[in-house]
Amino acid sequence: MGYEIERFLGYVNDGLLCCICRDVLEHPLQAPCEHAFCTTCIHGWLVHHNNCPEDRQVLAVTDLRALHRYMRNDLSRLQIQCKNYRSGCEMVCSLESVDKHERECEYGRMSCIHAGCPVQFERRHLDSHLAVCEHRSRECPNGCGYAILSAEDLHHNCIAELRTELELLRSEMICRVEETKQEMESRLDSQRRHMVQKESLLQAEIEELKSQMSRLLSDVRTLVASERQHRQDLEQANLEQRELIELLKGAKRDCRTKTSDASSSLPVTRLESLKRRTREVTII
Ligand SMILES: [Zn+2]
Ligand SMILES: [Zn+2]
Ligand SMILES: [Zn+2]
Ligand SMILES: [Zn+2]
Ligand SMILES: [Zn+2]
């Protein structure tokens, strides 16, 4: 439906009227035949017809286009009174801005903002209604904190209300404590698991070190034993060396006193065997 033509100040071109409702175009659309309509008017028409209501040319919803720009400009410049002019609003503005004004118009009707309140009034009376609205929430005059929405609420039992509130808080607290407890436990659990893991790792390291240590100890023992053997061999060799030197000295003395070869053959054999042994010890 269009805007009532009486609301406009000044002359309104016929081209800006809807071909169906004959009021001034509201949210206009244009057919290929150039006829223009309010969106709601032409959509309603095309539910039961398939032609232009003015010249009966074939027409479908998909043929409809936006109004020519020059017509849109003419429309938006028209001066119109607020729709609440009968209630006393004296606002006159361009068609372009009338919707915005009407959404906030002090003479526009509105429902009470309190849920359940059936009263309707002009926007300018909102404050005076709210002061007396039966549905406004007030707190209990005895201070229990209960919100009073109706006359029956005035006879509520403050202690019962407080007890309910208390129970609610208590169960909420229990829930929260339980949640915190579970969270702490799970955190402790994960820490414990971590510690156990670490402990077993350390244990394995200790075992490894122990086995390395025992290997080293047995190596050291072997070395000490071989070192002792070495020393014994060396002492033996020294002993034999001294013995050899004594023998050599004896042999030299014998040479000087005797000339016979047969008597010196035994000490020479003894000398050869000692030389061999000394070499073996040196190789070890
Ligand atoms: Zn119309
Ligand atoms: Zn037409
Ligand atoms: Zn108004
Ligand atoms: Zn109310
Ligand atoms: Zn109370």
- The string of pLDDT tens digits covering residues 251-272 is 999 888 876 555 445 555 666 6
Query: What are the structural domain ranges in the chain?
Result: 5-104, 160-283
- Ligand with an atom nearest the CA of residue 114: 4
Confidence of residue 155 (pLDDT cuts 50, 70, 90): confident
Which amino acid is residue 2, in one-letter code?
A: G
Q: Give me the mean pLDDT over the 206-234 stretch.
A: 96
* 282 pLDDT higher than 70: no
Ligand 5 centroid – CA 43 distance (Å) = 57
Q: What pLDDT shows up at residue 133?
A: 87
If DSSP codes are grouped into helix, strand and coil, which group holds residue 34? coil
Residue 225's pLDDT is: 96
Residue 168 has pLDDT above 90, yes or no: yes
Which pLDDT band holds residue 279 (cuts at 50, 70, 90)?
Answer: low
Q: Which residues sit with Cβ closer than 5 angstroms to ligand 3, an ion?
A: 82, 84, 89, 91, 105
C-alpha 184 to ligand 1 mean position (Å): 70
Ligand 2 center–CA 10 separation, angstroms:
27
Residue 195 CA neighbour count, 13 Å, CB half: 6
Distance 21 CA to ligand 1 centre (A): 4
The fraction of the chain above a pLDDT of 90, given in percent, is: 74
Q: What is the 142 CA–ligand 4 centroid distance (Å)?
A: 24
Which ligand has the shortest distance to the CA of 148?
A: 5
CA of 180 to the centre of ligand 5 (A): 34
Whether residue 149 is predicted with pLDDT greater than 80 in this model: the reply is: no
Look at residue 278 in the predicted model and tell me its pLDDT. Answer: 57
If you measure from the C-alpha of residue 77 to the centroid of ligand 2, how many angstroms do you get, rounded to a whole number?
25
Query: Which numbered ligand comes closest to the C-alpha of 24?
Result: 1
Domain range 5-104, its CATH number among 3.30.1330.60, 1.25.40.10, 3.30.40.10, 3.90.420.10:
3.30.40.10
Cite the DSSP H helix spans in the chain.
39-48, 69-77, 95-104, 126-132, 158-257, 265-283
Ligand at minimal distance from the CA of 164 is: 5
Residue 283: its pLDDT value, please?
55
Instruction: Flag whether pLDDT at 231 surpasses 70.
Output: yes
Extended beta strands in the chain, E state:
8-9, 28-30, 36-38, 65-66, 79-81, 92-94, 109-111, 120-122, 138-139, 147-148
List pLDDT tens digits, range 46-74.
999 999 999 999 999 999 999 999 999 99
For residues 211-215, average pLDDT: 96
Tokens, residue 194: 């971590």
For 32-48, how does the pLDDT look when each residue is reduced to its tens digit (9 = 90+)? Answer: 999 999 999 999 999 99
Distance from the CA of 40 to the center of ligand 1, in angstroms? 7
Cα(11) to centroid(ligand 3), Å: 22
